[in-house]
């Protein structure tokens, strides 16, 4: 066997070992990336659930405030009507 062939065989064996190790490392990196994406997806799902559970009471509270505002407006209108009727009756009694 010639020295050139021996060196070439040695280089091929080393490159084969390095590429095999590199392939195994890429496999582990991709597996870890898949686990990380799975965990991130779970966190996003949990965040969506928490957001929904917080937004429901806030929307209910908003509708309660809207109802109270409408009630105050109706009471104010009723108060104005009552005052105007009271003034009319007072003027009629004075005459």
pLDDT tens by residue, 53-90: 887 888 788 888 888 889 888 888 888 877 776 666 66
- Structural domain contains residue 2: no
- Structural domain contains residue 82: no
- The tokens describing 82, both together, are 């009552």
Number of domains in the chain: 1
- Structural domain contains residue 17: yes
- Structural domain contains residue 21: yes
Q: Which residue has the higher pLDDT, 60 or 18?
A: 18
pLDDT of residue 78: 82
Note the pTM of the prediction, 2 decimals: 0.52
Q: Is 90 exceeded by the pLDDT of residue 25? A: yes
Q: What are phi and psi of 59, to 5 degrees?
A: -70, -35
Cα(4)–Cα(21) distance, rounded to whole angstroms? 26
Confidence of residue 17 (pLDDT cuts 50, 70, 90): very high
- Structural domain contains residue 80: no
Can you give the residue range of the structural domain that contains 22? 7-74
- Structural domain contains residue 64: yes
- Structural domain contains residue 68: yes
């Amino acid at each position: 066997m010639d020295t050139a062939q021996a060196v070439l065989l040695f280089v091929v064996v080393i490159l084969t070992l390095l590429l095999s190790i590199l392939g195994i490392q890429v496999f582990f990196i991709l597996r870890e990336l898949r686990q990380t994406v799975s965990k991130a997806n779970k966190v996003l799902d949990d965040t969506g659930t928490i957001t929904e559970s917080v937004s429901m009471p806030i929307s209910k509270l908003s509708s309660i405030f809207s109802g109270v505002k409408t009630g105050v407006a109706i009471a104010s209108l009723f108060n104005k009507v009552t005052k105007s009727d009271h003034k009319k009756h007072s003027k009629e009694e004075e005459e």
